[in-house]
Chain A
Amino acid sequence: MIALARKTLLHEWRRFLPALLAVALSALLLLVQAALVQGIFGSAAVFVQTSGAQLWAGYPGTRSVDLGRAIPADTELVLRQDPGVRRVEPFRWIDADWRAGSGALSIYVSGIDTQDQALMFRALLNTAQRRLLREPESVIVDRADLDKLGVSVGGAARINGRRVRVVAALDGLRALGAPIVLASLDTAARLQPQEPRYSYYLADLHRPEEAARIQARLAPQAQALGFELWTREAFAQKSVQFWMLETGAGLAVIFLAVVVALVGALITSQTLMAAVAGSRNEYATLNALGVGRAALSRVVLEQAGWIGVGGLLLGALLSALALALARSHAVPVEIHAGISALCALSVLVIALVSGLAALRTLRHSDPASLLR
């Protein structure tokens, strides 16, 4: 078989280049956007993901970690009484006011246990940093937020009018919305003296695989007392979903993805149509010689397929470069295999749909039109 599709693609590469670039750019936009969304919205779950707890207790119906409200102090007792629970630890979430120099902004304060074996931010904080937090009125912030907060490590600021000192900066704390400031439970309590209760209790289990069973076992007591229990995975997913679906941000992202796909398909189909139109007489001659329309359609679809695969590879390469650049600038990006596969599939569908659209041009290549 003569590889007409492939040979024509290579021979007339200039003609097909816009389609390849359109597909590659679609792939780039979709992949980078997906990684950004994953990274940014995934940061909504950073509290849950970096903690060592298997169960979270919080205010009933809480839809995202950052929407925590105070719950009864007896929650701790209920959790501790369960034989499956090894350790319980409170976590305080405060909306606060930050002032440094002449600037002021809203922040979130995370009041956390500072013991070496503490659960909260287990994956994020080392023992040296926890020890620094034990000093009264000391706080830790994300390195990327330093500029926004108007301080440097060692500098001083005021939270809710109370003087604090930035003792360290770390990576991976950056989240949606306001900057997050870490403090010890004691410091946090002093920053919000009017509310003695905590927002969450974290539970570490003897057997992590029992999380769902213990959650079910404690559910009646939780309901009676006025708190709700979630497994770590469920709470993380809840937080991400809240940001993605209920803030409108997710909808905007999906809308943008559809626009990208449409524009990609439009450019690709136009290019393919022009290419088919350019070879109209040749296709018509083949048809006159008895090569069927179906066989000619396969040639066009094969070209669309090659453009799809080539564009996807180029797009993936560009995405890898873009994401590496993002990472080096502390922009939160995260690659999710399933979502990346979905993006890749969308790109191939763009190419295929463009190929199908270009078949219309092929239908116009009538062998009778070759006669003078």
Chain B
Amino acid sequence: MSLIEQAPTRALIEARGLVKSFRSGTLDIPALREVELDLFPGELTLVAGPSGCGKSTLLAALSGLQRPDAGSVQSLGQALWSLKPEALERFRLLSTGFVFQGFNLFGALSALEQVMLPLSYLKLSPHEVLARARAALDEVGMTPRATLKPAELSGGEKQRVALARALAKRPRLIFADEPTSALDAASGQRVIELLHRAARERGAAVLCVSHDPRLLSHADRLLHMEDGRILDDERRRPLGAPLE
């Protein structure tokens, strides 16, 4: 079965023949078996599947975090895994945003500073850094809490700050790994809506890995993985269709 999308819109990420396995003792445990996948702008793609099915490994290989054993990833026209480590870091700095299950915020920094931190490595003017960070916090509804440190924020608020930190760079690729697992229903709802909006309003390709069933309704496209293979690729909304 071919899983390659036949769509007029050009894919931002094209992955071919991705293979990755992990060694456990003397055993090689395959995590990705010949995975082919294209990700398109303006779409939130949700990868679901049981634990250990390879969905996080897929995210790592597509986002430039972990090198696959075989296969290629064309990302924004660049052969991702041909890049040198520094060039790969640069690529991630300019083009990717990440949201993890753990919020991973620095205890010493206020919400505004958390968002400014990665921006400050982008060679922007201090004024631009501040303006972008404020705008990103505003987008996730955290302006009133901008001066607070992580210890003073709820889990949902922390994840919104982490989201603002990822979005403020204005990346064309956004990766989210179990972004709602640690959140209550309302907070989770809010985070997935914000991710969806980033896809729709900015034309970013959003890849979200989750086994949170509450997210299913938000996905434009749903991939089901098992045993290192994409078993099912379901487009829930036509590519480029307006949001209801």
8 Å CB interface, A188-236 against B: none
B102 and A10 contacting across the interface, CB-CB below 8 Å: no
Residue of A nearest to B169 (CB): A289
Interface size class of B (residues with CB under 8 A): 35 or more
**What residues of chain A lie closer than 8 Å to B209, measured between beta carbons?**
371
- For A4, A285, A367, the residue with the greatest tally of chain B CB atoms inside 10 Å of its CB is A285
Q: Is B201 interfacial (CB 8 A cutoff)? A: no
Residue of B nearest to A285 (CB): B104
Cα(A287)–Cα(B98), bound, Å? 10
Q: Is B228 interfacial (CB 8 A cutoff)? A: no
Q: Is B75 interfacial (CB 8 A cutoff)? A: no
A4 and B117 contacting across the interface, CB-CB below 8 Å: yes
Residue of B nearest to A371 (CB): B56
Residue of A nearest to B166 (CB): A289
Residue of B nearest to A293 (CB): B89
Stretch at the interface among B7-15, B106-114, B218-226: B106-114
Contacting residue for B89 out of A279, A282, A292, A368, CB 8 A: A292
**What residues of chain B lie closer than 8 Å to A281, measured between beta carbons?**
102, 104
**What residues of chain A lie closer than 8 Å to B16, measured between beta carbons?**
none
B177 and A285 contacting across the interface, CB-CB below 8 Å: no
Q: Provide the B96-140 mask, 1 if CB < 8 A to any CB of A, else 0.
A: 111011101111110001001110110000000000000000000
**What residues of chain B lie closer than 8 Å to A367, measured between beta carbons?**
65, 98
Q: Provide the A1-26 mask, 1 if CB < 8 A to any CB of B, else 0.
A: 11010011011100000000000000
Q: Is A291 interfacial (CB 8 A cutoff)? A: yes
Contacting residue for B86 out of A284, A285, A292, CB 8 A: A292
A-B pairs under 8 A by CB, number: 97
Given contacts A289-B97, A289-B98, A289-B118, contact A370 B86 (CB under 8 A): no
B118 and A11 contacting across the interface, CB-CB below 8 Å: no
State the Cβ distance, A20 to closest chain B Cβ, in Å.
16
Q: Is A338 interfacial (CB 8 A cutoff)? A: no
Cα(A368)–Cα(B175), bound, Å? 12
Residue of A nearest to B120 (CB): A1
Q: Is B190 interfacial (CB 8 A cutoff)? A: no
Q: Provide the B203-236 mask, 1 if CB < 8 A to any CB of A, else 0.
A: 0000001000000000000000000000000000
B107 and A12 contacting across the interface, CB-CB below 8 Å: yes
Q: Is A252 interfacial (CB 8 A cutoff)? A: no
17 residue pairs bridging A and B, Cβ less than 8 Å apart: A2-B109, A281-B102, A281-B104, A282-B106, A285-B98, A288-B100, A289-B98, A289-B118, A289-B165, A290-B90, A290-B92, A290-B118, A292-B90, A293-B89, A295-B121, A371-B56, A371-B57
10 nearest A-B pairs in the assembled complex, by CB-CB distance: A290-B93, A11-B108, A290-B92, A285-B104, A371-B56, A368-B66, A7-B108, A8-B108, A289-B118, A281-B104
Residues of B with Cβ closer than 8 Å to A?
56-57, 59-60, 63, 65-66, 86, 89-94, 96-98, 100-102, 104-109, 113, 116-118, 120-121, 149, 162, 165-166, 169, 177-178, 181, 209
